[in-house]
Chain A
């Protein structure tokens, strides 16, 4: 069987996928990219007739649009807070699951459940929980605190979003870290014990370094998702009160579909894309050597 034949078969297998991607992914992106350099809105006829304005949209976003910059800062802050909480809780839980106890399999499934709930349902459920006459406030009252109006205070609304996100995605960190912990070889741990390390030292000096690539993978994947955060916030607060919980995705959505500033929204989206790529690249740098090594 010739090599040529193999290559053409390979092409045959990959062509449909490439075609679909080209048609439904690359083309719209190209259109959006072109659009971001125009001042087009649906009221001004077809896109072809729109005026080319160069980098005007981008300049406007970076220099004048404080709401855009705030949304970026807010999304980053939200990501940092959520990811740290999710990481710590997930790690703690994963470490607990390294011990032996009864009903481990059932508990594992229980702890993973939130991850499988639709974001919209999560948003709606927490919206119910945080109602002024809802169960969260009821518990707070039992503890002697006055239940606040969660969605009327910017800090509390932000906290509600954080709690929702943490509930929804801690299981992912837990799952990834648990499989990481399970894959940690036992002998280095035993060696450290024999060399006189106590359990805490074993964890810090031996287990965590071996877990590092897995931790980075978890952070990268969650970063990619949390930067796009939309569904839960849409259901919980719609970005309110004011714009105090407006994430970058929500802002772009409002620009495009409430205000019909389509070209401006496209420019904002491309800035976000470049920013996220840079961020992920930055996150991946510390484990690049290890990733390369695994390939061999």
Chain B
């Protein structure tokens, strides 16, 4: 049956939805390119009186930030951006690598396939604030607190069940016969996995990596409680602007928010086909 056309009333409904969806993003981006006089204007200014990229420069300029004289925020965002990139990239690589091996192990040798879903479920549902408590305690005793090693370890642990389960669903889609055929040709089991299985789930591997990166890049609370002065991430830096005197640094903060958002939105579009599967832990395959 040919799908019905969208009539004008429904198009209006959809337009309203689209406006609701895009307006906050529009506002954020506009604020990021507003000059300081527009930031907190009353009534609010929708379009910048004179679009500027100065906020993006101020962000990375310690002197300029200090000049605004806002209490609490004395650091430029350089460290936070560096920290976010380091923590997210490192933890994503480790999590996906270990997850890939676990996925093959679970899918092909059904090792621990029964307990894993429960671990994932509990891991996903436990309030992070509560996991953070023992982390803080344990990390203080082994001096991993306020260090990137500690933060990366936490990110790996938190995303590992997710990457394992995602990758398992992709390995499950692959018929066993493919590896068995390679083994009949004289390959060892391990070599068959490495040279046959992994290249065949490239797409899934990429999507999983992207999703794990999104999770790590977005993470806020662990970074908040595990960082004091040595380390920082973008979300933590963003939250500090608010604690400063009622966030008068609108433009600079919005600029940082835009920078933080860009890779995720771009990455999200890249893996749109696997988004439903990723967001439902493989429950929905499309």
- The reply on A69 being an interface residue by CB < 8 A is no
- The reply on A188 being an interface residue by CB < 8 A is no
Chain B residues with CB below 8 A from A224, complex form = 121, 124-125
The answer to whether B98 and A6 have CB atoms under 8 Å apart is no
CB of A186, distance to nearest CB on chain B (Å): 7
Chain A residues with CB below 8 A from B281, complex form = 221
**Proximity string of chain B (240-281) to chain A, C-beta cutoff 8 Å, 1 when within and 0 when not:** 011000010010011001001100110111001001100111
Partner of A176 from the list B28, B254, B279 (CB cut-off 8 Å) is B279
- The reply on A270 being an interface residue by CB < 8 A is yes
- The reply on B50 being an interface residue by CB < 8 A is no
Q: Which of B119, B160, B267 has the most CB of A within 10 A?
A: B160
Q: Which of B40, B105, B134 has the most CB of A within 10 A?
A: B134
CB of A241, distance to nearest CB on chain B (Å): 14
- The reply on B89 being an interface residue by CB < 8 A is no
- The reply on B200 being an interface residue by CB < 8 A is no
**Proximity string of chain A (6-26) to chain B, C-beta cutoff 8 Å, 1 when within and 0 when not:** 110111111011101101110
Complex CA gap A230/B271 in Å reads 26
Partner of B99 from the list A17, A115, A235 (CB cut-off 8 Å) is A17
Q: Which of A96, A190, A250 has the most CB of B within 10 A?
A: A96
CB of A17, distance to nearest CB on chain B (Å): 3
Partner of A235 from the list B11, B31, B239, B260 (CB cut-off 8 Å) is B239
Chain B residues with CB below 8 A from A107, complex form = 14, 18
* Identity of the chain B residue whose Cβ is nearest the Cβ of A101 in the assembled complex: B6
Chain A residues with CB below 8 A from B242, complex form = 124, 127, 235
- The reply on B225 being an interface residue by CB < 8 A is yes
- The reply on B137 being an interface residue by CB < 8 A is yes
Partner of B238 from the list A17, A121, A133, A138 (CB cut-off 8 Å) is A121
Complex CA gap A116/B157 in Å reads 22
Partner of A98 from the list B3, B111, B112, B265 (CB cut-off 8 Å) is B3
The answer to whether A32 and B125 have CB atoms under 8 Å apart is no
Complex CA gap A117/B280 in Å reads 18
Q: Tell me which residues from 235 to 269 in chain A have a Cβ below 8 Å from any Cβ of chain B.
A: 235, 248-250, 252-253, 256-257, 262, 265-266, 268-269
The answer to whether B24 and A253 have CB atoms under 8 Å apart is no
Partner of A35 from the list B31, B133, B261 (CB cut-off 8 Å) is B133
Chain A residues with CB below 8 A from B125, complex form = 224, 227-228, 273, 276-277, 280
Chain A residues with CB below 8 A from B46, complex form = 135
Complex CA gap A127/B242 in Å reads 10
**Proximity string of chain A (108-129) to chain B, C-beta cutoff 8 Å, 1 when within and 0 when not:** 1111111111111110111111
Complex CA gap A17/B17 in Å reads 43
CB of A172, distance to nearest CB on chain B (Å): 6
Interface size on B, residues (CB 8 A): 103
Complex CA gap A271/B245 in Å reads 36
Complex CA gap A78/B191 in Å reads 51
The answer to whether B134 and A29 have CB atoms under 8 Å apart is yes
Complex CA gap A208/B98 in Å reads 40
- The reply on A214 being an interface residue by CB < 8 A is yes
Interface size on A, residues (CB 8 A): 103
- The reply on B221 being an interface residue by CB < 8 A is yes
Chain A residues with CB below 8 A from B153, complex form = 24
- The reply on A203 being an interface residue by CB < 8 A is no
Complex CA gap A217/B284 in Å reads 8
The answer to whether A116 and B267 have CB atoms under 8 Å apart is yes
Chain A residues with CB below 8 A from B264, complex form = 116-118
- The reply on A175 being an interface residue by CB < 8 A is yes
Partner of B138 from the list A27, A128, A186 (CB cut-off 8 Å) is A27
The answer to whether A47 and B137 have CB atoms under 8 Å apart is yes
The answer to whether A17 and B98 have CB atoms under 8 Å apart is yes
The answer to whether A269 and B189 have CB atoms under 8 Å apart is no
The answer to whether A28 and B135 have CB atoms under 8 Å apart is yes
Q: Tell me which residues from 148 to 173 in chain B have a Cβ below 8 Å from any Cβ of chain A.
A: 153-154, 156-158, 160-161, 164
The answer to whether A13 and B101 have CB atoms under 8 Å apart is yes
- The reply on A5 being an interface residue by CB < 8 A is yes
Q: Chain B residues in contact with chain A, CB under 8 A?
A: 1-6, 10-11, 13-14, 17-18, 20-25, 27-28, 31, 40-44, 46, 98-99, 101-102, 104-106, 108-112, 119, 121-138, 153-154, 156-158, 160-161, 164, 183, 189-190, 193, 214, 217-218, 220-221, 225, 234-235, 238-239, 241-242, 247, 250, 253-254, 257, 260-261, 264-265, 267-269, 272, 275-276, 279-281, 283-284, 286
Q: Chain A residues in contact with chain B, CB under 8 A?
A: 1, 5-7, 9-14, 16-18, 20-21, 23-25, 27-29, 31-32, 35, 42, 47, 89, 92-93, 96, 98-101, 107-122, 124-129, 131, 133-135, 138, 167, 171-172, 175-176, 179-180, 182-183, 186, 189-190, 214, 217-218, 221, 224-225, 227-228, 230-231, 234-235, 248-250, 252-253, 256-257, 262, 265-266, 268-270, 272-273, 276-277, 280
What are 18 A-B contacts with C-beta separation under 8 Å? A24-B153, A107-B18, A110-B21, A114-B21, A118-B235, A120-B234, A124-B257, A125-B27, A125-B257, A179-B284, A217-B284, A221-B281, A230-B221, A234-B220, A234-B239, A270-B130, A272-B127, A277-B121
